[in-house]
Amino acid sequence: MVKIGNLELGDFPLLLAPMEDVSDPPFRALCKKNGCDMMYTEFISVEGLIRDADKSVQKLDIYDYERPIGIQIFGAKLDSMQRAAEIVEEAQPEVLDINFGCPVKKVVCRMAGAGILQDIPRMVKLTEAIVKSTSLPVTVKTRLGWDDDTIFIEDVAERLQDVGIKALSIHGRTRKQMYKGEADWTKIGKIKENPRIHIPIFGNGDINSPQKALEYKERYGVDGIMIGRASIGYPWIFREIKAFLERGEIIDGPTLDERIEAVKEHLQRSLEWKGERLGIVEMRRHYTNYFRGLPGIKKYRARLVTEYDPSVIHEILEEIRHKYSQAEVFS
């Protein structure tokens, strides 16, 4: 049984990675429905939280059907991180997660996210302060290092465990790599082999099929897998991996009907959570992913991403349903 503090997550949990503009409540609902064991919010700026910025505060929204869930924060200032941890605790998630892995320039330049990989002592100091400032289990998501010359993740894992974190998620790339090249899980595997490490270690990066999930589980011995980009527009990845891990079964992918109904649900939840205009606009980034592999979808997508009327969007979705048969359109 994998546990984060006293939180039990099963024998081999599948986690939804925190992704900006993706892992919001509407999308999380679909991932949960399809078997995700634990999810994380989009990352939240601690400076936004302590200043009561609407966008940051809204990201604290969590719902009972999503549990267990972690709220992820990022920042660089000690006092701001501690104050934000107190605000997060009031939202009552199961876990508080610290983002030490975001590679985006506007985050890194403030020494937040993966930027802090340039100053490991500060990374450890910030983590220790947050652990001491909250009763929630604290976890960390990070990368292997800043670049190929500064891969200290094995030492970092020990030091973060020593100051009290309850789990560590590791993306198998450096900050310099961003999302290019292949994720290197060998360092993650070495952490699992370290007899000093007793907290759960979750691997992240490039898991895009049930077969790869099983291969990496067995090869690197991780306690669970965190899935990010492969879930975008495809929340069914969780049920497919579970079927393969638990029963050795390769199950069929979602039908066209399932995809259309998922888009409708995602859109409706987005409208309810964000309001009509913003809900429609922010939904646009998802259409291509939901219908990826469908021949000739481009002309429908062009209409979906320019339409503001929800009823017309539904009409377009029904046109797609009518146009394509249930035959092997996604093979």
- The three-state secondary structure class of 121 is helix
Phi, psi (rounded to 5 degrees) for 101: -135, -15
Cα angle 259, 234, 298 (rounded to 5 degrees) comes to: 60
Catalytic residue among 31, 36, 102, 109: 102
Could you give the C-alpha distances from 124 to 77, 130, 136, in angstroms and in order? 13, 10, 18
Rounded CA Rg of the chain: 20
| Residue of 101, 38, 44, 23 whose CA lies nearest to 70 | 38
**What tokens were used for 276?**
């009509």
- 19 contacts 227 by C-beta, under 8 angstroms: no
- At a CB cut-off of 8 Å and minimum separation 6, what does 64 contact? none
Is 102 one of the catalytic residues? yes
Catalytic positions? 102
